[in-house]
Amino acid sequence: MTEETSLFEIFYCSVLKQDLPPATVGAIVTQARARNAQHEITGLLVFDGMRFCQHLEGPPEAVKTLMQRIDQDWRHTEVRVVYQGALAARRYSGFGLGLAESEGPHLMAGVHALEGEAALNHFLALRPSFDING
Give residue-wise pLDDT tens across range 32-49: 898 999 999 999 999 888
Q: Give the domain ranges of the chain.
A: 3-102+118-129
Query: Which uninterrupted H or E stretch holds 70?
Result: helix 60-72
* Measured distance CA(39)–CA(104) in Å, rounded: 32
Output the pLDDT for position 1.
44
Output the pLDDT for position 2.
46
Burial class (CB in 10 A: 0-12, 13-18, 19+), 130: middle
pLDDT averaged over the chain? 87
* Measured distance CA(46)–CA(44) in Å, rounded: 7
DSSP helix/strand/coil, 78? strand
Output the pLDDT for position 3.
45
Percent of the chain whose pLDDT exceeds 90:
46
* Measured distance CA(31)–CA(86) in Å, rounded: 26
* Measured distance CA(52)–CA(46) in Å, rounded: 6
Q: What CATH number has the domain spanning 3-102+118-129?
A: 3.30.70.100
